[in-house]
Amino acid sequence: TQKIIIDTDPGQDDAVAILLALGSPELDILGIVAVAGNVPLALTEKNARKICELAGRTDVPVYAGASRPLVRPLITAEHVHGESGLNGPALPEPALPLQAQHGVEFLVEALMREEAGTVTLCTLGAMTNVALALNREPRIAGRIKQIVMMGGGFFEGGNITPTAEFNIYIDAHAAEVVFSAGVPIVMMPLDVTHKALTTPPRIQAFRELNTPVGTATAEMLEFFERYDVDKYGSLGGPLHDPTVIAWLLKPELFSGRECNVEIETGSALTYGMTVVDWWGVTDRKKNATVMRDIDADGFFALLVERLGRL
């Protein structure tokens, strides 16, 4: 099994990513750390607990991390995810308690405790917690196996500004810390996730699982896709965050290449842009494996199969 920590701001697509991990016996989830993002921290940590309970997995510890980005004020996305961050299904208030330890403390402690090179960080939101952990204990950089992250975009552009993707935009300073830390990074940008669309038949496949998880997933995705279908005029919304977990399970669903990626933090116009040297036109050091393509049917088949186990 692979040891992972999920850092997340649920978010319906974060929720589906967590469910995919919970339904996959190859993954040993050491903890889930919430970060402020789609909605404020008090909601993201609660939503993470709701999802663990939905899956009947109250053995996974949930921590609360940073309540705001490193430098800028928090920007949230209720217009996409709804007031709760998880609009769609009616999920009960969670009984699963939040861990008392701060999420950043947990990250540092877990990475210093576990054997070096064995723990993968999966980041599904702004990278504030990881940046804070790296600043607090720089030795963790040499101990993290890899960071698999959803964020950024290059040929596809941005989704919150013409050049910036939401997770990078809300804390570009944190992303800059992470991308320059020397940790191997696998990046799932909009170029991938905009090809993973929640079309009506794909949502129907979750509903047909006929389980609480399947029904809640269909309801989450129906809510979530509304905004994006209007925005992009596509047949469904992009299912961003589960691509991170899917790569750990079936990397052959994805293709990309190793490139240099730098984060723009200076420009007013392009703040939060991921500057990807896809064509290798600089001699800057390659610091990330950037994905560009996905087998979307294979991805949704994996999701249905794994969520079906919960």
Q: What's the CA gap between 39 and 135, in Å, rounded?
A: 25
With the CA atoms of 65, 172, 188 and 209 taken in that order, what torsion angle do they form, in degrees rounded to the nearest 10?
A: 40
Both tokens of 159, joined, read 């989704």
Q: Does 165 bind ligand BDR (CB under 6 A)?
A: yes
Distances (CA, A) of 254 to 40, 152, 186, 259, 294: 32, 16, 11, 16, 5
Query: Is residue 240 annotated as part of the catalytic site, yes or no?
Result: yes
Decide: is 124 part of the binding site for ligand BDR (CB under 6 A). yes
Query: Could you give the C-alpha distances from 163 to 23, 34, 195, 248, 284, in angstroms and in order?
Result: 35, 26, 18, 27, 21
Q: Which of 5, 11, 181, 225 binds ligand BDR (CB under 6 A)?
A: 11
Query: Using the rule CB under 5 A, which residue among 6, 12, 14, 238 binds Ca ion?
Result: 14
- How many residues form the binding site for ligand BDR (CB under 6 A)? 15
277 binds Ca ion (CB under 5 A): no
Catalytic residue selected from 81, 102, 194, 240: 240
Q: Does 190 bind Ca ion (CB under 5 A)?
A: no
Q: Does 11 bind Ca ion (CB under 5 A)?
A: yes
Please return the burial class of 173, using the count of CB atoms within 10 Å of its CB with bins 0-12, 13-18 and 19+: middle
Taking CB under 6 A as the binding criterion, the range among 133-141, 163-171, 172-180, 262-270 that sits at the site for ligand BDR is 163-171
Q: Which is nearer to ligand BDR, 108 or 248 (CB)?
A: 248
When binding is defined by CB under 5 A, the residue of 48, 96, 124, 290 that contacts Ca ion is 124
Burial of 110 (0-12, 13-18, 19+ CB in 10 A): buried
> Which of 44, 167, 243, 289 contacts ligand BDR by CB under 6 A?
167
107 binds ligand BDR (CB under 6 A): no
- Tell me the per-residue interface mask from 220 to 259 with ligand BDR, x by CB under 6 A, - otherwise: --------------------xx------------------
Q: Does 171 bind Ca ion (CB under 5 A)?
A: no
Q: In terms of CB distance, is 103 or 108 closer to ligand BDR?
A: 103
In the complex with ligand BDR, which residue's Cβ is closer, 9 or 176? 9
* Identity of residue 141: A
Residues forming contacts to ligand BDR in the complex (CB under 6 A) are 11, 13-14, 38, 77, 80, 124-125, 150, 159, 165-167, 240-241
Q: Could you give the residue numbers annotated as active site?
A: 240
